Amino acid sequence: MILRKTLSSLVLMLLYGCHLHMAKTVMNGGDLEAALPEPRAYIPDSQNLDFVYHDHEELTRFLRATSARYPNLTALYSIGKSTQGRDLWVMVVSSSPYEHMVGKPDVKYVGNIHGNEPVGREMLLHLIQYFVSSYTTDQYVKWLLDNTRIHILPTMNPDGYAVSKEGTCDGGQGRYNARGFDLNRNFPDYFKQNNKRGQPETDAVKDWISKIQFVLSGSLHGGALVASYPYDNTPNSMFQTYSAAPSLTPDDDVFKHLSLVYARNHAKMSRGVACKSATPAFENGITNGAAWYPLTGGMQDYNYVWYGCMEITLEISCCKYPPAYELKKYWEDNQLSLIKFLAEAHRGVQGFVFDPAGMPIERASLKVKGRDVGFQTTKYGEFWRILLPGYYKVEVFAEGYAPREVEFVIVEQHPTLLNVTLQPSKRIEGIGAGGPSYYRPIPAPQHYRPVPPYVASASNDNGIFSTISNGLNSLYSNIFG
């Protein structure tokens, strides 16, 4: 018994020391990021990766070779297979690539969800190479990889890419997966029931993000030049393409900020220049997704509503599949944006939820007051939330514990570290025939989701008008992204 108590005390002391070390690292890391020089200009390593399009076998060889060459900075894993059996590879780039490190947020990029939009696919391969080749020479990259775990899925739709044609700027050949499904219309939707059959690629992504508490995400597309943010959908259904209006989240200020970070660090995007005379121009290079054109079953809304992950959609090329000789210019345009966007995971509030003994509480539910989309703690009790400077209150719930509300302030210079201790439910003697009982607060839901403005009637999602509306949306997205 004495030995058991001694060991328990040692475990608690180690955890407490780890929390203190993490707090210092976060605070120092946040201050350091503001003082670091911009990432240096890219110098390609021609022995590894050239500015050409890589088929799936070439992509796989590059990822495996990079993982073997930089074992201390990379880890390669597959989240599943495409319809035709191609691996959906993810490369982790971090100074701790093989396991989650306490205090380090997980972020991700997803490319090539539409098979005929492969510029993002190539940009992510070059981003991987830039990170690993610059870690020892670029202070900004070193800070980012030391304080973040970056997961990169270069292609979510390798089957569609395999049948796409270089030089094709418009159209739908290769857009869909091998079964003819648009993967960016294949996720559960907040505003409407999505009856489309789940696909292997989307099922793999859903399983992936259910296991890792991603804080920030970007999805790379082509066909326009704009950073688009949630919501992508709207309660309106009939002829929704032509009744486009903003559909704003409770975190609209954060999403606009994240989109502007990408657009303003991009060489051209923030100018808001239209790709063609017939296509829209976007003020400051950003747009609310539904204000552009609504869609049902999009990935960015799913990430945000279901898991509290801030994802935006990055349209980075006017031409969906431009000639390979233009790739170097696309990299020069996007390099700084791709890096600076990920650093935004260190903005806002982060910390732990503990029990009175200092042990972490897994899957505690948190919600910033006034922002109805919540988030949860990891198995280590960690949480992160991107917020702009200001005064906030967070509500914290966990089954078996009394709920708690905590006030905090966000400043510009560094993230706010906030540790929350929850007390067990209060004991109330002599209630009920069975003697002593315990008060338990209503169990917190697995995840907070906002209440829709209203639920559309069933007729909005069925019948000829819905069919016409869906057809118009498909045509519009094939042209513009």
272: left (phi over 0), alpha (psi -120 to 50) or beta: left
Domain assignment present for residue 16? The answer is no
Domain assignment present for residue 262? The answer is yes
Range name among 35-44, 50-59, 136-145, 330-339 with the lowest pLDDT average:
35-44
Domain assignment present for residue 453? The answer is no
Q: What pLDDT was estimated at residue 458?
A: 40
Domain assignment present for residue 24? The answer is no
Q: For residue 314, how many C-alpha atoms fall within 13 Å in the half-sphere facing its CB?
A: 35
pLDDT tens across 75-96, in order? 999 999 999 999 999 999 999 9
CATH number assigned to the domain comprising residue 389: 2.60.40.1120
Do 320 and 397 fall within a single domain?
Answer: no
User: Of the candidates 396, 391, 382, which has an alpha carbon nearest to the alpha carbon of residue 409?
Assistant: 391
Cα angle for residues 327, 73, 314 (degrees, 5° grid) = 35
Q: What pLDDT was estimated at residue 48?
A: 65
Do 413 and 295 fall within a single domain?
Answer: no
Task: Give the span between the Cα atoms of 365 and 447, in whole angstroms.
Answer: 6
Which residue of the set 33, 122, 315, 382 is catalytic? Answer: 315
Task: Give the span between the Cα atoms of 13 and 426, in whole angstroms.
Answer: 27
Q: What pLDDT was estimated at residue 308?
A: 95
Q: What pLDDT was estimated at residue 480?
A: 54
Q: What pLDDT was estimated at residue 273?
A: 85
Are 159 and 125 a contacting pair, CB within 8 Å?
Answer: no
CATH number assigned to the domain comprising residue 219: 3.40.630.10
Strand partners, 107: 150, 216
Amino acid in the structure at residue 203: D
Domain assignment present for residue 290? The answer is yes
Which structural domain range is residue 202 located in?
A: 36-346+459-480
Q: Give the dihedral of Cα atoms 319, 325, 326, 328; nearest 10 deg.
A: 140
pLDDT tens across 256-279, in order? 999 999 999 999 999 998 898 877
Instruction: For residue 158, give both structure tokens.
Output: 């390798």
Note if 315 is an active site residue: yes
Domain assignment present for residue 6? The answer is no
Domain assignment present for residue 454? The answer is no
Do 319 and 399 fall within a single domain?
Answer: no
Handedness of CA 338, 339, 340, 345 (dihedral sign): positive
pLDDT tens across 302-312, in order? 999 999 999 99
pLDDT tens across 352-373, in order? 999 999 999 999 999 999 998 9
Instruction: For residue 431, give both structure tokens.
Output: 């209630």
Task: Give the span between the Cα atoms of 96 and 146, in whole angstroms.
Answer: 8
Residue 475 pLDDT exceeds 60:
no
Q: What is the mean pLDDT of residues 7-21?
A: 42
Tell me which residue has tokens 């993967």. 183
Do 56 and 71 fall within a single domain?
Answer: yes
Do 260 and 327 fall within a single domain?
Answer: yes
Task: Give the span between the Cα atoms of 39 and 328, in whole angstroms.
Answer: 17
Do 254 and 393 fall within a single domain?
Answer: no
Instruction: For residue 66, give both structure tokens.
Output: 């990079």
Please list, residue by residue across 415-429, b when 16 or more beta carbons sit within 10 angstroms of its beta carbon and e when fewer do.
bbbbebbbeeeeeee
Handedness of CA 108, 111, 114, 120 (dihedral sign): positive
The number of helices, as runs of H, and strands, as runs of E, in the chain is 11, 17
363: left (phi over 0), alpha (psi -120 to 50) or beta: left
pLDDT tens across 146-199, in order? 999 999 999 999 999 999 999 999 989 999 999 999 999 999 999 999 999 999
Helix (H, G, I), strand (E, B) or coil at 78: strand
Do 301 and 354 fall within a single domain?
Answer: no
Q: What is the mean pLDDT of residues 209-238?
A: 92
Q: What is the mean pLDDT of residues 124-128?
A: 98
User: Of the candidates 111, 84, 127, which has an alpha carbon nearest to the alpha carbon of residue 184?
Assistant: 111
Do 413 and 268 fall within a single domain?
Answer: no
Do 333 and 287 fall within a single domain?
Answer: yes
Q: For residue 258, how many C-alpha atoms fall within 13 Å in the half-sphere facing its CB?
A: 31
Do 334 and 359 fall within a single domain?
Answer: no
Residue 21 pLDDT exceeds 70:
no
pTM, to two decimals: 0.85
Domain assignment present for residue 449? The answer is no
Tell me the range of 33-42, 158-167, 434-443 where mean pLDDT is highest.
158-167
Do 410 and 306 fall within a single domain?
Answer: no
Q: Are strands 427-428 and 416-421 parallel, antiparallel or unpaired?
A: unpaired
Cβ atoms within 10 Å, residue 262: 26
Do 355 and 431 fall within a single domain?
Answer: yes
Who has greater pLDDT, 175 or 34? 175
Are 398 and 353 a contacting pair, CB within 8 Å?
Answer: yes
Residue 100 pLDDT exceeds 70:
yes
- The number of domains in the chain is 2
Instruction: For residue 455, give both structure tokens.
Output: 């639920």
